[in-house]
Chain A
Amino acid sequence: MISWFVPQASTFAADVDSLIFLILVIVGAWFLLAEAVLFWLILRFRKREGVRSKYVTGDVKSEKRWVSYPHYAVLVFDVVIVVAALRVWNDVKVTDPVPEETVRVVSQQWAWTFVHAGPDGRLDTADDIKTVDDLYVQQNRTYRFELHSKDVLHSFSVPAFRLKQDAVPGRMIAGWFKPTLAGDFDIQCAEICGIGHGLMPARIHVQTATAHQEWLREHGVMPALAANTGAAGQGGAR
């Protein structure tokens, strides 16, 4: 149902949606049942001529059941929901599949910047591709991301992936995703991070293998900027 609004673009997107749907069904069914019982009781015991109202103390076993049975049901369904939730949590946040590539995601006030491994597939080498606002990944490839923050708390949220991870200054937080759907999807900051919080939109471009190879070929070698020679690396540039 959520996929009517936001596509499921990662391997675990459908699992997250199923979990939310499961909770909706359980809670929704009980909501409807409870409302039905409530209105039935209101109707059944409405004011009638010649019938005196009665104070119910709840001591009688047959009356107490109306509370205790639903209570047991709540406990049972809680267990169902917790088990289902932990399975998804374990899959998304705990297991650490062997990545085929690593990207570095850097959040700051107020922008997302990204370091792609480049043609050699390794970070922190000369052919790394650094971008602002745009993250390029290949469809059906397992990515590990290393999330950083340069200043305050941010949150790396990719709604189409059903992925959200807080970024904490001073820490590197790793996670993973595997995009399944080619296309361009939103990256949002999901943690209030200052006056420009709403103004740091970015995009993740999930490309087919050929398109991604093409992109790599185009951007793989750092363009030799005239200004980047000579005076480069003096520090103090920021």
Chain B
Amino acid sequence: MSVSTLRLYAVLGLLGGAVAGAGCSVAQGATASGEQLYRACASCHGEAGAGDATFGAPRIAAMPRWYVASQLQRFKAGTRGRHFDDAEGLRMRAMAMQMGTQAEIDAVASYVASLPAGTSPAAVAGADPAVGQTKFAVCAACHGPKGEGNEALNAPPLAGMDDWYVARQLRKFQSGVRGAVKDDPIGAQMAGMALTVQPAEVDSVAAYVHALPR
């Protein structure tokens, strides 16, 4: 940032500070609670974290804290959601930037993890559960035989995840929209695994994962 731009921001900041100081109750420096921070997420993911397919926002309620925190970090760092063609990712990236500190990321991740679990209705049509089950054997190596996830392998739980979301992510991994950032072994690993699923089988895998009990 150039010096003159900084100077402009300083002037604007002083003006804004004067206005904000007059009537604003949010104290600078105090860490907001996870519930407060979640308000930013709620506009797409919903108050209860049930998600909204229209916004491309998946159900996140009861996702493990470690996974939510790691994804927020990845969105902020640009290892996820910073691809030219990743419309949803670019949207989520801006939202993740709102979580300024690690403490805020942890707080909002804990709140998301505390939201009651649930499963959305199936949305993907034309899936073959038998094909999904066969293909899932590969996924089970990391994500667990019941799709329960494995933190040590950076593999999130998949059981009960929105089928449309799983299908979309698989396609993003396959096309390099997700998981193709340089020096990102985690993304690269999943991108490689995603290629084991044939294009025609993506929906079946997603449907199978969605049907797994939590």
Task: Give the residues in chain B near A166, CB-CB below 8 Å.
Answer: none
Quick one: which of B11, B84, B91, B173 contacts A227, CB cutoff 8 A? B173
The answer to whether A225 and B180 touch across the interface, beta carbons within 8 angstroms, is yes
Residue B79 is within 8 A (CB to CB) of chain A in the complex: no
Residue B138 is within 8 A (CB to CB) of chain A in the complex: no
Complex: A111 Cα to B82 Cα, angstroms: 9
Closest to A112 in B: B90
Task: Give the residues in chain B near A196, CB-CB below 8 Å.
Answer: 91, 94-95
Complex: A4 Cα to B86 Cα, angstroms: 39
Interface string of B153-171 (1 = CB under 8 A from A): 0000000000000011001
Given A6-B4, A195-B40, are A234 and B94 also a contact pair (CB < 8 Å)? no
Task: Give the residues in chain B near A4, CB-CB below 8 Å.
Answer: 4, 7
Interface residues of A (CB under 8 A from B): 3-7, 108-111, 113, 130-133, 150, 159-160, 183-186, 195-196, 199-200, 225-228, 230-234, 236-238
Quick one: which of B11, B93, B171 contacts A237, CB cutoff 8 A? B171
Residue B108 is within 8 A (CB to CB) of chain A in the complex: no
Residue B65 is within 8 A (CB to CB) of chain A in the complex: no
CB distance from B179 to the nearest CB of A (A): 7
The answer to whether B84 and A132 touch across the interface, beta carbons within 8 angstroms, is yes
CB distance from B5 to the nearest CB of A (A): 6
4 A-B pairs with the lowest CB-CB distances in the bound complex, closest first: A196-B94, A110-B94, A231-B174, A199-B94
Residue B98 is within 8 A (CB to CB) of chain A in the complex: yes
The answer to whether B43 and A195 touch across the interface, beta carbons within 8 angstroms, is yes
Task: Give the residues in chain B near A6, CB-CB below 8 Å.
Answer: 4-5, 8
Complex: A227 Cα to B83 Cα, angstroms: 13
Complex: A237 Cα to B172 Cα, angstroms: 5
Task: Give the residues in chain A near B8, CB-CB below 8 Å.
Answer: 5-6
Task: Give the residues in chain B near A132, CB-CB below 8 Å.
Answer: 82-84, 90
Residue B151 is within 8 A (CB to CB) of chain A in the complex: no
Residue B177 is within 8 A (CB to CB) of chain A in the complex: yes
Given A227-B195, A230-B195, are A238 and B85 also a contact pair (CB < 8 Å)? yes
Within 8 A of A (CB), among B1-46: 1-2, 4-5, 7-8, 11, 40, 43
Residue B72 is within 8 A (CB to CB) of chain A in the complex: no
Task: Give the residues in chain A near B86, CB-CB below 8 Å.
Answer: 238
Complex: A92 Cα to B2 Cα, angstroms: 25
The answer to whether B4 and A7 touch across the interface, beta carbons within 8 angstroms, is yes
Quick one: which of B90, B98, B179, B195 contacts A111, CB cutoff 8 A? B90
The answer to whether A227 and B174 touch across the interface, beta carbons within 8 angstroms, is yes
Task: Give the residues in chain A near B95, CB-CB below 8 Å.
Answer: 110, 195-196, 199
Task: Give the residues in chain B near A130, CB-CB below 8 Å.
Answer: 84
Task: Give the residues in chain B near A233, CB-CB below 8 Å.
Answer: 175
The answer to whether B174 and A110 touch across the interface, beta carbons within 8 angstroms, is no
Task: Give the residues in chain A near B195, CB-CB below 8 Å.
Answer: 227, 230-231
The answer to whether A200 and B168 touch across the interface, beta carbons within 8 angstroms, is no
Q: List 15 A-B contacts (CB under 8 A).
A: A3-B4, A4-B7, A6-B5, A111-B91, A132-B84, A185-B5, A195-B40, A195-B43, A199-B94, A199-B97, A225-B176, A227-B179, A236-B167, A236-B171, A237-B172
Residue B116 is within 8 A (CB to CB) of chain A in the complex: no
The answer to whether B98 and A199 touch across the interface, beta carbons within 8 angstroms, is yes
The answer to whether A111 and B175 touch across the interface, beta carbons within 8 angstroms, is no
Closest to A111 in B: B90
Interface string of B70-107 (1 = CB under 8 A from A): 00000000000011111110110111011000000000
Residue B191 is within 8 A (CB to CB) of chain A in the complex: yes
Given A227-B195, A228-B176, are A110 and B83 also a contact pair (CB < 8 Å)? no
The answer to whether B199 and A113 touch across the interface, beta carbons within 8 angstroms, is no
Complex: A238 Cα to B174 Cα, angstroms: 12
Complex: A184 Cα to B4 Cα, angstroms: 12
CB distance from A237 to the nearest CB of B (A): 4
